[in-house]
């Protein structure tokens, strides 16, 4: 007989506890997102709350910088919410997958484009250097 997911979760106390924690974090995540400015909201995700610290995952270094400058105002707004009254510090981390993508984009190299005149000059220089190098041998 197939068990429904809800039945399976309610039968195992550990799974039930994890599900309750996930639901609670989801609710807090929505509250947190509503306190962020519209530009930050799409780039920040509440990751965890531990003791008096709130950890936020950010999807890029630019957004981490913007979040860093907004933290004092966010903390002030958080403290107006009963669920976040005890929060004293916001920690942020740049998501590894996004930072890796950013790094790859920065390291991509393309061929330099030269004007026709510069290309001709470089070709002449190459030929002259090639002749001089063969004379040195």
Give the pLDDT band (50/70/90) at residue 106. low
CATH superfamily of 5-136: DnaA, N-terminal domain (3.30.300.180)
- Cα 106 off chain centre by: 15
pLDDT digits (tens, 9 = 90+) for 43-74: 999 998 898 999 999 999 999 999 999 999 99
- Residue 46, beta-bridge partner list: 56
- Domain boundaries in the chain? 5-136
Q: Are strands 44-50 and 89-94 parallel, antiparallel or unpaired?
A: unpaired
pLDDT of amino acid 17: 81
Residue 2, CA distances (Å) to 8, 10, 18 in order? 10, 15, 22
102 Rama class: left (phi>0) / alpha (psi -120 to 50) / beta: alpha
| pLDDT of 15 | 77
70, 41 Cβ separation under 8 angstroms? no
The pLDDT of residue 95: 85
Higher-pLDDT residue of 104, 80: 80
| pLDDT at residue 109, rounded to an integer | 57
């Amino acid at each position: 007989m197939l068990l429904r997911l809800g039945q399976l979760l309610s039968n195992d106390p550990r799974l039930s506890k994890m599900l309750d924690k996930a639901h609670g974090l989801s609710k807090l995540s929505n509250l947190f997102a509503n306190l962020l400015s519209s530009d930050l909201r799409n780039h920040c995700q509440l990751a965890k709350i531990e003791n008096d610290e709130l950890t936020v995952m950010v999807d890029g270094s630019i957004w981490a910088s913007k979040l860093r400058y907004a933290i004092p105002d966010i903390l002030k707004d958080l403290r107006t919410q009963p669920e976040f009254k005890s929060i004293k510090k916001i920690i942020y981390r740049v998501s590894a997958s996004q930072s890796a993508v950013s790094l790859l984009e920065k390291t991509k190299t393309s061929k330099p484009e030269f004007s026709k005149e510069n290309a001709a000059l470089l070709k002449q220089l190459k030929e002259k250097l090639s002749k001089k190098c063969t004379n040195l041998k």
